[in-house]
Each structure stands twice: as C-alpha cells, then as structure tokens.
Structure 1
Amino acid sequence: MIRRNQAVAMVAAVIFGVAGLSACSSDDGDKAAAPTPSAPVTTPGVPQAEVPNPPADTSVDAGFARDMKVHHQQAVEMAFIVRDGTDNEQIRSLAYDIATTQLNQIGQMMGWLDLWGLTQTTTRPAMQWMSPEGMSAMSGHHMAPGQTMPAPGPGDPLMPGMATKAEMDELRSLKGVAAEVKFLQLMITHHLAGVAMAQDALDHAQTGVVKALAKGMVNAQTSEVSLMQTFLAERGA
C-alpha cells in the first residue's frame, strides 16, 4: 500500500507540476527527481517581452521610442547631407556629433521595444501617445484633450519639426554656406520639436530608462539649438 501511494504521488507531481513534490523510489530512501518545468508558450512571429512588467503597446514609453526613432532618422540624414555639402569644420563637427549621438539613441530605442516584446512600428497615428500640452508645444497649435494631429498629406512631414521632401531635396542641392544655412535652419526647427517630444516623455513615461534618455535629449538639443542660432547669426541669416 505504501509503494502504491508513493507512485500516485509521483504521477501527481508530473501531471500538476507541484513544486518540490517527490516520493521515495525504494526502501533505502532514494528520492525521485523533481519534474522539469515546462517552457513558456510562445507564438511564432509575435514579439515576447524579456523584462517583467513591460510598458504596454499604447504607452507613452512605446510611443516615444517609435516616434523619436523616426524623428532621429531624418536628423541623421540631414547631418550626413551637410557633411558632404560643406568643408566648414564647425558645421561638419556639429553634424558628426548629431549623427553619432542620434544613431546611438535609435539603437537604444530599438532595443527597448525588443525587450518589451513590442513591434518596432505601429499603424496608429504619430504622436497619439502625447499629452495635449506636449502636442501643442511640438506643433505650435493648441490641441484639446482627445484631439489628434491630422494625417500628413502628400509631401508633408510625418511629424511637426521634420523637413518636407522638398526641403530635403533643396538641402541636397546646396553647397558651401548656402548648405550650412539651410541645414541650420532645418535642424533648429527639428530640434525644437524633438525637445517638446522628449519633454512630454520625461513628464509622462513610466520607465526610468525612457525618462533618463528624454532628459538627456532635452538638455543636449537645447544646447545645440543655442549653438546653431549663433552659427546662423555668424552667417548673416
């Protein structure tokens, strides 16, 4: 009877995964090994979170990471264009700093989305995660609670502060001082919108890493705006 009860207990441990449940396998006191925990169920092609309690797909943190990636990508493109369009070391150094810093930050934000088990892109409109105050600061227009930015039309930038296709084409066509002035004008506008977006994330994000990066962006890009305004004044623009 004792052996039968022990066998039943072992089967129960396997079936129900009762942690620590074991039974004697012989009269000399040897114990059966605990059941191996089953692997978590995953769905092929669906991202899986690698951290506990990750931000939700519609969170400020996820929205900021996705939108700022796109915003940064254009800044990097502008920086590379002007580096090819001028020999001025001040502008080339500034462009290099912007490109390398923002490429690094793009990598960080892509990594967060992977860790959180979220997709890199979304079908939701840009800036939907932002507060009315944040959208107002970024767009320059008052936004009521619940109001969203209108969908961009053909040739329009995806988000406020971003250059249009026509402006990017013009920047590519310019050389020398003309390229420097156009780059500075576009990048100042770009940075000011980026600062507004980062400030909104700093105010409303839930994760410390997002808040820390957003604060760094606010400080760095505000300083760069001041420097670029000085460069513009030196060029009489």
Structure 2
Amino acid sequence: MTRSRTNRTYWAAGTAVVLASLFAAGATFATADGSGSADAGGSAAVRAPSLYSPDAGFARDMAVHHQQAVEMSFIVRDRTQDEPVRSLAYDIANTQANQRGMLLGWLDLWGLPKVVADEPPMSWMDMGAAGSMESMGSMGSMDHSDGHDGHDGHATKPGALMPGMATKEELDRLGASSGRDAEVLYLQLMTDHHKGGVAMAEGCAKQCRTPAERALAQGMVEAQQSEMKLMADMLRQRGAAPRG
C-alpha cells in the first residue's frame, strides 16, 4: 500500500467519525414528530426513536447494506487496473463508509442496539412508501402480517437478503475474477445494490421522522441514481449491460 493510499484511508476513517458526530448532534434536536418542542423550562424536549421505528430500522439495515458495498469496492480495486472502475470503487467505498458511520452514530446516540435478533430485514418499511415491487428488486420471501410502528409490516423473513444484496456465491465470483470480467461483474452487482439501496432510502425519506436522517436518505437516493447512470455507461463501454 502506498503512502498516498494509506493517507486517504486514514482521512476517510477520520472523516466518518467527524461526520457521524456532527449528524448525530443534529439528530438530538428531532422529536418523534420530526420537530422540536419546548417543555415548561423552555428547553428542547428530545424523544429518541423507538427500537422498531423506521428511523432505527433504516439505520440498522442500511449500515449492513453499505458495508457490503464497501466490501465489493475493495474487492474490485484489487482485481483490476482500470482507473475509471478503481476511482468509482474508491468513491463508493469512501462515501458509504462515511454514511455508515453516521447511521451507527445515531443508533449510539439514541441508545439503541446495532443488531436486533428478532428483527427481520426491512420490517420497518412500508412497501407502499418505496413504490412498486419492481423498484425493490428481489427481496426473497415476504411476510405480509399486519402491524404498526414499522415492526410487523411487510418484511423479509429472517435470513433473507435485503434488496440488491449480493449473495456469497456472487462475492466469491467477484473475488475470483480479474480484468474486464471483474469490472463487468462489479458494475452489475453494484447497480443491483444501488437499486435496492435507493428503494430503502426512499422508504426512509418518506417514513423516518428524524430530519437529519431523512435528509441523508434523500441524498443517498440522488447520488446512487446518478451513479447507476454512470455505471450503465461504463457497462456499455465494455460491451455489457445491467442485469435484469
């Protein structure tokens, strides 16, 4: 690893901590209805999101989702010398590592766990808030029980992958590929990953009540939609296309 790459790694890690602290501080001013309220003493009354709220569920699920994007980006970085792909992979890894730090920082601030054993992926999400099922991508088997507070609504069953997540077999294929094959597979997997991430972020932008988290989710939607267009162009340049 060169000194330049090492410095970038330390910079990215430091930035994630700083940004997480800043966004977490902003989130302390969010009440359950998304606005500040004053108590009898005139101070802001802070109410943290509940364990199974969309705010907490999105933070937990998207932190896991982002971690895989970072992992795939580091894999392809070592499997190709193509600078456009390596640059894209670095940008995605850096951005999503920073955002993951924010999400985990909020959970710490709210006093909530980063993992809930009995919480199926996507159980916080109202499927209607994310548009059609096609926009969600493949989500595996669905549980259509009724409920409230995002916990007992439409959810994937325990053990199912979240939308857009690559399987272990696909990650193994990426790690075993090189050159153009690795570039194409990475761009295809990351396009699928972004489609799932956009659907999840759209859900939070509509359902989450913490203003800073809604703003972050909307930023994810816009950035990942732009990156999907770029990846479609990069695939065409390589004589390939997105999957599905």
Which TM bucket (shorter chain)?
Answer: 0.7 to 0.9
Cα RMSD of the aligned pairs, angstroms, is 1.9
1:83 Cα deviation from its structure 2 partner: 0.5
- On the 8 A contact 1:132/1:143 being kept in 2, the answer is no
SS of 1:119's equivalent in the other structure is coil
- CA distance in structure 1 between the aligned counterparts of 2:225 and 2:186, rounded to whole angstroms: 17
1:150 Cα deviation from its structure 2 partner: 2.8
Q: What is the TM-score normalised by the length of structure 1?
A: 0.73
Q: Which of the residues 174, 192, 214 maps onto 1:211?
A: 214
How many pairs align? Answer: 184
Q: Specify the alignment match of 2:82 in structure 1.
A: 88
- CA distance in structure 2 between the aligned counterparts of 1:72 and 1:114, rounded to whole angstroms: 18
SS of 1:85's equivalent in the other structure is coil
1:158 Cα deviation from its structure 2 partner: 2.6
1:143 Cα deviation from its structure 2 partner: 7.9
1:149 Cα deviation from its structure 2 partner: 1.7
* 1:41-89 Cα shifts (integer Å, max 9, x gaps): xxxxxxxxx9421111111000000000000000000000001011111
- CA distance in structure 2 between the aligned counterparts of 1:148 and 1:172, rounded to whole angstroms: 31
Structure with max Cα Rg: 1
Larger relative CO (CA 8 A, sep 6+): 1 or 2? 2
- CA distance in structure 2 between the aligned counterparts of 1:78 and 1:140, rounded to whole angstroms: 19
5+ long unaligned stretches in structure 2:
1-26, 29-45, 147-152
* 1:6-28 Cα shifts (integer Å, max 9, x gaps): xxxxxxxxxxxxxxxxxxxxxxx
Q: Specify the alignment match of 1:225 in structure 2.
A: 228
Q: How does 1:186-201 map to 2 (within 5 A)?
A: 186-201=189-204
- CA distance in structure 2 between the aligned counterparts of 1:55 and 1:63, rounded to whole angstroms: 10
- On the 8 A contact 2:208/2:214 being kept in 1, the answer is yes
5+ long unaligned stretches in structure 1:
1-49
Q: Which of the residues 136, 159, 168 maps onto 1:138?
A: 136
Q: What is the TM-score normalised by the length of structure 2?
A: 0.71
Q: Specify the alignment match of 2:174 in structure 1.
A: 171
Matched to 1:172, the amino acid is G
Matched to 2:120, the amino acid is P
* 1:66-114 Cα shifts (integer Å, max 9, x gaps): 0000000000000000010111110000000000000000110111001
